[in-house]
Amino acid sequence: MASEMNASAVSAVEPRGAAAHSARAKELARENGFPLNGIAVLPANGESPRSESYNAWLKNGLHGPLDYMLNSQPARSRMQNRFPWARSVLALGAFYDGAERGRPGRDLEAHVARYARGRDYHRIFTRRLKTISEALIKEGICTHAHYYVDTGPVLERAWAEAAGLGWIGKNACLIHPRLGSFFLLAEIVLDVELQADAAASDHCGTCTRCLESCPTQAFTSPGVLDAARCLVTWNIEFEGRTPKELWKQQGAWVAGCDICQTVCPYNNAARVPAPDAELAQPLPWQSLSMADVITMTEARFDVAFKASTLRRTGLNGLRLGAITAAGNLKLEECRQALMDCASDTDPEISERSAWALGCLNKSALVDIE
Look up 150 and say whether it is catalytic.
yes
Angstrom distance (rounded) from CA 39 to CA 163: 5
Active-site residue (options: 67, 150, 202, 226): 150
Given a contact cutoff of 8 angstroms between Cβ atoms, the answer to whether 134 and 9 are in contact is no
Backbone angles phi, psi at 9, to 5 degrees: -105, 10
Angstrom distance (rounded) from CA 332 to CA 1: 41
Given a contact cutoff of 8 angstroms between Cβ atoms, the answer to whether 196 and 41 are in contact is yes
DSSP state of 219: E
For the chain, strand residue ranges (E) read 2-6, 36-41, 88-95, 144-148, 167-168, 174-175, 183-190, 219-221, 224-225
Cα separations (Å) of 130 from 31, 41, 141, 144, 226?
A: 13, 21, 15, 12, 34
Burial of 268 (0-12, 13-18, 19+ CB in 10 A): exposed
Cα separations (Å) of 110 from 69, 71, 208, 232?
A: 30, 35, 25, 16
Q: Dmax of the chain from CA atoms? A: 82
Cα separations (Å) of 121 from 7, 92, 110, 219, 341?
A: 27, 13, 20, 27, 32
Angstrom distance (rounded) from CA 271 to CA 17: 36
Using DSSP's 3-state secondary structure scheme, residue 40 falls into strand
Q: What is the four-CA torsion angle of 356, 358, 362, 368, rounded to 10 degrees? A: 100
Residues marked active site are found at 150
